[in-house]
Amino acid sequence: MPNQRESLIEDFAFDHIQSYYATRTGTTKILADRAERTRQGHLTDGLFSFQNPDKSLFVASLSTRNSPKIAALLTNYKNKGLSKLRYLSAGLLLLVSLYLAIKVAQLPYIYALPLAVVVAAAGFVLHSILERKNLKRKLEHLLNDLKKTPADEQWLGLSISSLAFRQNDLAKHLLRICQRRGIGVITVGKRAKVVQLQEPKTQTCRRGDFLSLYEAETRIRKSLLGDSYLRVA
């Protein structure tokens, strides 16, 4: 078993998700496959397949590949907030605005300084807004990978302590995106404790079932359905 410094979500997510569906559905036969491809060539880090009580096939996908990048964004924001570059840009705006107001507009210093301060403050706020939007855009871009591996339910696995989500606006934004898209979120920290932050929402496949979208469809159907699949085929 990995030690406290090597706790990776890949080592724990499969057991957690299998246990989750076994408890929820009562089924004991849940296939868990790694690195399965869709017929479009997109790779999913984990694919869980089983037969529902109503005999329909259910597929859940797991994404962990962007865990380091997402964890780095959330942790840096939690520990440092926005970058210190905002202060540098505000200082430069102050100096430039003060110079232009005095030398170009020929305003008295008593009027030039307040004007320069206002410009610098506005620049600081604008820089903060744009930087925050950029971080959110990076998160959304990383989450777009899940769109390439459709399933009845999707999971995002992160190697990060659940404590990183406390008082962290960027982490809360991540959860809001995942909730809107119906993505379940699980994390594992250095203590090797899996925390489920959000449950997934079940999606509806418009054509047949989601298993038909994967290259391993035939093998998985045979494993789940056995003789009944062979008779139909």
Q: The tokens of 152 are what?
A: 């009845």
Residue 105: CB atoms within 10 Å: 10
Gap between the Cα atoms of 157 and 71, Å rounded: 10
* CA angle centred on 15, ends 11 and 17, rounded to 5°: 110
Rounded Cα–Cα distance for residues 180 and 197 (Å): 14
List the domain boundaries for the chain: 1-233
Helices within 2-108 (DSSP H only): 13-25, 67-80, 85-99
Tell me the whole-structure pTM to 2 decimals.
0.85
pLDDT per residue, tens digit, the chain (233 aa), is 344 445 788 889 999 999 999 999 888 899 999 999 999 999 999 999 999 888 889 999 999 999 999 999 999 999 999 888 889 999 998 899 888 888 777 777 787 888 889 999 999 999 999 999 999 999 999 999 999 999 999 999 999 998 899 999 999 999 999 999 999 999 998 888 899 999 999 998 888 899 999 999 999 999 988 766 544 44
Q: Which of 211, 200, 201, 66 is nearest to 149 (CA)?
A: 211
Residue with tokens 């505000």: 90
| pLDDT tens readout for residues 169-185 | 999 999 999 999 999 99
Count, residues in the chain? 233
Please tell me what DSSP assigns to residue 49.
E
